[in-house]
């Protein structure tokens, strides 16, 4: 029986963090009075709605690439609402553009982050949950990432030593849909739908959550320095290269 104490601990901590934020995105709009949060349009990686004098509350052109004439929609300052909601909206303010056209509304209040970020955090929760349930330390990060899949599907991959290729392929199919959809919006008149943003954000979040859990769980010292003790699919074993082979 494999000892998964550390893997489960890592998984539950990371899962708890991501689940807290994901649930807060839905709960925070309910903790303030209805119609308190107006349509927003800010910048990513910047605080735009700290006070009524902040960048987001200035009168930008409605046809600008970022921002809009906030006075037409109503001023908003997250420092004026309750602490829990303020923390959640501050997180969204800094990490998300918060464009109202790409965001959902709850209780007459715009949510703290856009639909794409909702999808990403759903994926983060799923990735960390699967690792909590299935993942275990296999010496390297890539092998630890693959550990969430049943061994019967990994046998040929390990027998042919296609581990790197498998992880790269998994990452490719997780990241490319989001990148493609995002750049298509940026470079063409195409405007993605809420469902498409949710669907493309989810696999991106999944691979990030899986990577984070794996990077904190992969520990060579758990095998007393002997890589041959790692249990791999298909009876495969790590082998230390001799000086002559190197």
User: What pLDDT was estimated at residue 243?
Assistant: 43
pTM: 0.90
Report residue 101 as tokens: 């056209």
User: What pLDDT was estimated at residue 109?
Assistant: 98
3-state secondary structure of 110: strand
Residue 186's contacts (CB-CB under 8 Å, 6 or more residues apart) are none
Report residue 198 as tokens: 């949710």
User: What pLDDT was estimated at residue 141?
Assistant: 93
> What's the burial of 8, exposed, middle or buried (CB within 10 Å: 0-12/13-18/19+)?
middle
User: What pLDDT was estimated at residue 183?
Assistant: 85
User: What pLDDT was estimated at residue 231?
Assistant: 81
Residue with tokens 């739908």: 193
User: What pLDDT was estimated at residue 112?
Assistant: 98
User: What pLDDT was estimated at residue 187?
Assistant: 79
For the chain, residues with pLDDT lower than 50 are 1, 242-246
Residue 6's contacts (CB-CB under 8 Å, 6 or more residues apart) are 137, 217, 219, 222
């Amino acid at each position: 029986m494999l000892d998964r104490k550390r893997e489960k601990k890592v998984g539950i901590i990371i899962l708890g963090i991501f689940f807290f934020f994901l649930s807060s995105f839905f709960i925070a709009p309910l903790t303030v009075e209805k119609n308190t949060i107006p349509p927003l349009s800010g910048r990513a990686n910047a605080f735009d709605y700290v006070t009524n004098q902040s960048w987001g509350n200035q009168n930008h052109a409605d046809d600008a690439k970022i921002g809009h004439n906030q006075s037409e929609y109503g001023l908003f300052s997250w420092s004026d609402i309750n602490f829990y909601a303020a923390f959640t909206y501050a997180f969204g303010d800094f990490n998300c553009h918060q464009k109202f056209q790409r965001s959902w509304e709850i209780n007459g209040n715009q949510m703290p982050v856009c639909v794409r970020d909702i999808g990403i955090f759903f994926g983060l929760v799923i990735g960390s949950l699967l690792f909590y349930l299935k993942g275990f330390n296999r010496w390297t990060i890539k092998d630890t990432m693959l550990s969430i899949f049943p061994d019967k599907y990994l046998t040929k991959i390990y027998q042919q030593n296609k581990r790197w290729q498998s992880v790269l392929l998994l990452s490719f199919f997780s990241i490319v849909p989001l990148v493609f959809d995002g750049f298509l919006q940026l470079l063409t008149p195409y405007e993605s739908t809420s469902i498409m943003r949710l669907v493309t954000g989810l696999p991106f979040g999944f691979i990030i959550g899986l990577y984070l859990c794996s990077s904190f769980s992969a520990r060579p010292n758990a095998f007393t320095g002997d890589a041959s003790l790692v249990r791999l699919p298909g009876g495969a074993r790590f082998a230390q290269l001799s000086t002559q082979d190197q």
